[in-house]
Each structure stands twice: as C-alpha cells, then as structure tokens.
C-alpha cells in the first residue's frame, strides 16, 4: 500500500500541468527565432528583433513587413534586446546593451542614436510622438530624455539594478522596478516619487495601464499585484499556485477589466483585474529544435473583444480565442 501516495502525487502533478493549446491563427515573423518583440497598444503592428535578420516591422492585419532595420552598422548578429512602440504608433525605440535608437514609423527612418557608456541598458520605453525616452540601467539609475530639447533627468530612487520600466503615453509618468525589492511610480517632469510599491523580493516586471488607471508590479517569487495609480492602494493580487512565477510581458485591456501576461515558460494568461483570479491560460508554440520545448513570451495584446495575441521567441505571432 505504500505505493498509493506516490501514484496519487504523480496524478496530482500531471493535473497541474497546462494543456497544450491551439491558436486561431499563427504567422511567422522571425524564421530563425526572435530575440525581442513588441506589440502596439492597439495590436495593429508588431516589431520583432530576430537573431540574424535585424528588426522587422509587421502589419498585423495582413502580415506584411513595412520596414527592415539594422540597429548596428557592420556585419554580425543583431543583438537588439529591448523594443517599445509609442502608444500613438508614431515611433519605435530599440536598444542593445550599450545604445538605443529612435525610429519614425511614418518614414521608417532613424531619428537618433545614442550610446551609454556608464552602465548597461536593461529596459526602454518611448512616449507619444517620440517626445520622451525612458532608459533603465544596470547601475540602478533611470534616465528620462527629451530628444527635441535635450533635457535629461536622472531618477536615483533605486539602489540596485533596474529590471523593468514603463512610461505613460504622454511621457509624464514612469513606473520602474529593480533588484532593491521596490517599484516606483514617479513624475518625469520633477523626478518626484508619487507612489512606492514594495515587494518581498526583486521586482522583475512592471506595466502601466495606458488609460491611467492601474499599475502592475511582479517580483521574482510569489507576489504580483495590480495597484490603483491614483491612490497607490492595491486593487488585487494575482492568484496562482506556483511557488515562483516570472512574467515577461503584461498588458491591460482597454476597458480595464482584464490583464494579459506572458512568461518565459510558454504561458499566456488572462486575469480578472478586480479579483486577481485567472480566467484562461494558453501555451505558445515552442521554438523549433529547442530541447526541452521552450519559448519566452515577449509581447501580449488584445486584438479584439474576442481575441488576444502573443509574440514569442519562437518567432511566431499567435492569435487566441477568448
């Protein structure tokens, strides 16, 4: 009879696994896999950095490529690690670990290239019309930069490495999280902290609601919360069973009722903002020849009231039915 608990445990573990999912549509946007990706707020276009083929801009409706960019001059592999699309779809910001570039989506031309020698670039964001650029760095500093005026502000609130940042569409408010167990919501015009969100471990992912209602912050262990940006009070805490859950992408729905997240473990999850409860979960396709089968979800978004979308390291853009 001693074998009975072991069998029951095995069945329990199998029951906890995520079932394989079938997307409604799948399109290839990076044949040899992607190194980074971003999806616009309205899910009308994506920007994907592939390992060898540079950075491609894709129209989601017809899966055509608008532009093909090279972040670096000369030969060699493309190493663009971070991409962000402005909320109004006018500019794209790309970066490797040492430099960032601003691209005009109307003309397809670069409008600036800046190199940072002080510390590595960890994450980036750009506001409407490319007016403001936010850069989080490995030394704990966050720089807000205005290309037109040359104005530069450094936020020094963090004590350790920055892991994730986001910027409001108008560029007035920044959300930053780092290894110091803290996420800050702060004003880019003054550098003043608006709210401080504390975690029991290093903050690995942050995201702002584009409509100015919520902030999402998640740490490296078991706490992921949605906050009211007006009051600084928690709205809900995401409910999940895993001892450790890492988020690699996050986006709020237009109506503010749902949060969509992606993870490095192929997981795409829809959450209820008010309660923190999981509504639905999918698994993106693994990258070809990866052993064990794996893929990092780089970007997520709401395609319509009935469909959501993900872009992963497999180089695939996948559409899922709600």
Write the DSSP string, 70-101. Answer: -SSSSSS-----EEEE-TTSSEEEEE-SSEEE
- Counting as low any pLDDT under 70, the low residues of the chain are 1-20, 72-78
* Domain residue extents for the chain: 21-321
What is residue 95's predicted lDDT score, i.e. its pLDDT? 96
What is residue 71's predicted lDDT score, i.e. its pLDDT? 78
Alpha-carbon separation of residue 289 from 32, 99, 244, 286 (angstroms): 11, 31, 26, 9
Helix (H) or strand (E) segment spanning residue 55: strand 55-59
258-262/267-272 β-pairing: antiparallel
For 21-321, CATH gives 2.130.10.10
Provide the sign of the torsion angle of the four alpha carbons 299, 211, 123, 61, taken in this order: positive
| Structure token pair of residue 66 | 């608008």
What is residue 20's predicted lDDT score, i.e. its pLDDT? 66
Q: Rounded CA gap, 40 and 58, in Å?
A: 10
What is residue 2's predicted lDDT score, i.e. its pLDDT? 34
Q: How far is CA 214 from the centre of its chain?
A: 16
Helix (H) or strand (E) segment spanning residue 6: helix 3-16
Q: Helices then strands (H, E): number in the chain?
A: 1, 28
Q: Which residues of 182-193 are buried (b: 16+ CB within 10 A; e: fewer)?
A: bbbbbebeeeee
Place of tokens 């729905």: 253
What is residue 18's predicted lDDT score, i.e. its pLDDT? 57
What is residue 13's predicted lDDT score, i.e. its pLDDT? 32
Q: Rounded CA gap, 227 and 317, in Å?
A: 29
Alpha-carbon separation of residue 181 from 93, 173, 199, 203 (angstroms): 27, 20, 5, 5
What is residue 193's predicted lDDT score, i.e. its pLDDT? 98
């Amino acid at each position: 009879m001693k074998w009975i608990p072991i069998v029951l445990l095995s069945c329990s573990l199998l029951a906890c696994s995520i079932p394989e999912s079938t997307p409604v549509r799948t399109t290839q946007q990076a044949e040899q896999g992607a190194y980074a990706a971003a999806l616009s707020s309205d899910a009308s276009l994506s920007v994907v950095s592939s390992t060898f083929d540079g950075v491609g801009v894709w129209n989601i409706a017809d899966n055509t490529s608008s532009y093909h960019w090279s972040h670096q001059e000369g030969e060699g592999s493309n190493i663009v690690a971070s991409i962000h699309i402005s909320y109004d779809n006018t500019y794209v910001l790309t970066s490797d670990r040492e430099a960032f570039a601003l691209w005009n989506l109307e003309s397809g031309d670069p409008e600036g290239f800046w190199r940072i020698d002080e510390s590595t670039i960890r994450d980036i964001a750009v506001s409407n019309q490319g007016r403001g650029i936010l850069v989080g760095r490995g030394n704990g500093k966050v720089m807000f930069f205005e290309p037109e005026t040359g104005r530069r502000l450094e936020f020094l609130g963090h004590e350790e490495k920055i892991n994730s940042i986001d910027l409001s569409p108008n560029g007035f408010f920044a959300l930053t999280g780092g290894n110091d167990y803290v996420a800050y919501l702060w004003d880019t015009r003054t550098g003043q902290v608006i709210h401080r969100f504390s975690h029991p471990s290093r903050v690995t992912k942050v995201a702002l609601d584009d409509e100015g209602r919520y902030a999402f912050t998640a740490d490296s262990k078991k706490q992921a919360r949605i906050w009211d940006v007006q009051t600084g009070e928690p709205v809900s805490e995401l409910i999940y069973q895993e001892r450790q859950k890492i988020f690699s992408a996050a986006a709020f729905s237009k109506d503010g009722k749902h949060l969509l997240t992606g993870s490095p473990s192929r997981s795409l999850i829809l959450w209820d903002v008010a309660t923190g409860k999981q509504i639905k979960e999918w698994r993106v396709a693994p990258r070809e020849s990866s052993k064990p089968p794996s893929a990092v979800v780089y970007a997520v978004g709401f395609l319509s009231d009935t469909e959501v979308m993900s872009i992963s390291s497999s180089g695939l853009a996948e559409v899922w039915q709600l």
